[in-house]
Chains A and B, each alone.
Chain A
Amino acid sequence: MIDGFIALYIFMLAAFTGYEVIGRVPTILHTPLMSGSNFVHGIVLVGAMVALGRASTTLEMVIGFLGVALGAGNAVGGYVVTERMLEMFRSSKPSGTGQTSGKQH
């Protein structure tokens, strides 16, 4: 279904998308963003589910099982740590500490 040039088109457009989306990210978010992109490739889980779901021999099942467990670890772990990091980012303005450094001189 996805083959030849269509595949190349998808590849190219997705590559540009990734580049553009990250392009102007401030340094302060590099670590959470790396973690966030790490979470996104956790989509490998669905591929591993299909591989295990179609496995027939014991060997295939064992490897598929490992794949699903690892993929789930990638997705869940990636989400939890990214969420924990981003949850902490807050601005001084709405939180009302009232002491933004820029004001005084």
Chain B
Amino acid sequence: MGGGIATTLVSASYLLAAALFITGLKRMSSPVTARGGIVWAGVGMVVATVATFFTPDLSNFALIMVAIALGGGVAWITGKRVAMTDMPQMIALYNGMGGGAAAAIAAVELFKGEAHSGVVLALAVLGGLIGAVSFSGSLIAFGKLQDLIKRSFRFRGQNIVNLAVLLASVLVGGSLVFAAMGPAAGVVTLFFGLALVLGVTMTLPIGGADMPVVISLYNALTGLAVAFEGFVLNNAAMIIAGVVVGSAGTLLTQLMARAMNRSLANVLFSGFGETAGPQGEVSGSMKGIDAADVGVMMAFAQKVIIVPGYGMAVAQAQHKVWELAKLLQDRGVTVKFAIHPVAGRMPGHMNVLLAEAGVPYDVIYDESEINAEFDNTDVALIIGANDVVNPAARTDKSSPIYGMPILNADKARNVIVIKRGKGSGFSGIENGLFFLDNTHMLYGDGQAMAAALIQSVKAL
């Protein structure tokens, strides 16, 4: 980049944008300042985008503006409309778009075949590879969570096939870097084709339950791809923002994997998500109860802990559940919400869903804060949660979820489980909690049952 006032202004704007991104992310890590955080980052994005129009030697302005209006417009509409329950797959989709954009930058640079140094070419190729994998992989993740892809495709030697595709992409990519005549168009096409296939074959075998970890990983990867393309384009804002997201995303991925008691390698290469086979059958029987009895039980309790799961959100019961909680609070009952890190479909997803219903975040506790309290709790109301309250995680070494931190709901004096039917949870594991002496099952739709409980408490 040469001198010139325009260049200086663009660079200064990028510096400002990078500072705003970092400040924004920092503010987003506390619930008190989080709302402002995204606005700060948003200002940074606008500053950087506007400044880019003043980059010297740019043309095709009309095309640029049409593309921004098109991509931005579609994303605006879908983003405004998506239900909170579907948030994880939407994040995957937008993330995939970012990966695709990074790959597109790499493709343009490689097709141009301008004289770059070997290091720059290598970064362009690497960023293109990661971006393309993140693009196609995120689309598959979206399809799975959106139920467009119903099953996991798995076959013998899958890891070997993936490894072969990876090696082929790296070899073809490497040949692009070392090509004496500059990258040939056919080879560039082959390279991106292989990278896209790799994203698909890597993601298809992974089960729905593990998808959040994968989405988070692709988020980090997209950050890295953006940073690499930033080096190619000499763009400091892309480098800084990309690397910050890359490292923050890696940490976030580890936190999520840990909350699910899985290692990242395990998620990527073993594909447990849906295969949990037959385990030790749980003996005993489930005892039903009706809503009127549960209403009485809760209304005269000292302390009630509500454990919501994704099932509650699917039944759209969160508003009713909060109404019930307020009713109990008015009667002097202490009501707390206990949220497992992986409740919902992604760590923190349940908090979003409760927030949507108007539940203040300071009556919501996570597993480490509240687990000691179940001992002196009169009623634990479990609605739509299953695996995260399965005591097998503490006791049964043969269980696939053994060792996963769980909510000790079984230690409450009474456990009420609102459940649609007798089936097992997302992971397909039988839950011993349902068969305990102090557990009663309230069969029915989450929303209908919550409404019935409200009626019975009101009637007292």
Q: Specify the main secondary structure of chain B where it touches its partner.
A: helix
Chain B residue at minimum C-beta to C-beta distance from A87: B35
Cβ A86 vs Cβ B28 within 8 A: yes
Given contacts A1-B1, A29-B31, A81-B87, whether A55 and B366 have CB atoms under 8 Å apart is no
Given contacts A34-B216, A35-B87, whether A67 and B49 have CB atoms under 8 Å apart is no
Closest approach, in angstroms, between the C-beta of B322 and any C-beta of chain A?
Answer: 10
Closest approach, in angstroms, between the C-beta of A19 and any C-beta of chain B?
Answer: 5
Cβ B105 vs Cβ A47 within 8 A: yes
Query: Interface residue count for B (Cβ, 8 Å)?
Result: 131
A69 and B256 alpha carbons, distance in the complex (Å):
31
Query: Interface residue count for A (Cβ, 8 Å)?
Result: 90
Cβ B348 vs Cβ A23 within 8 A: no
A104 and B374 alpha carbons, distance in the complex (Å):
17
Closest approach, in angstroms, between the C-beta of B46 and any C-beta of chain A?
Answer: 9
Given contacts A10-B239, A91-B361, whether A50 and B75 have CB atoms under 8 Å apart is no
Given contacts A38-B95, A100-B362, whether A80 and B251 have CB atoms under 8 Å apart is no
Please provide the 6 A-B residue pairs with the shortest distance between their CB atoms, ordered closest to farther.
A67-B104, A80-B79, A92-B360, A53-B58, A77-B75, A69-B71
7 interchain pairs (CB within 8 A)?
A22-B29, A28-B348, A29-B28, A34-B216, A64-B104, A64-B108, A101-B335
- Chain B interface (Cβ within 8 Å of chain A)? 1, 14, 17, 21-22, 24-26, 28-32, 34-35, 37-39, 41-42, 45, 48-49, 51-53, 55, 57-61, 63-64, 66-76, 78-80, 82, 84, 87-88, 90-91, 93-95, 97-98, 100-105, 107-109, 111-112, 185, 215-216, 219, 222-223, 225-227, 229-231, 233-249, 251-252, 255-256, 259, 302, 326, 329-330, 332-336, 339, 341, 344, 346-349, 351-352, 355-356, 358, 360-364, 366
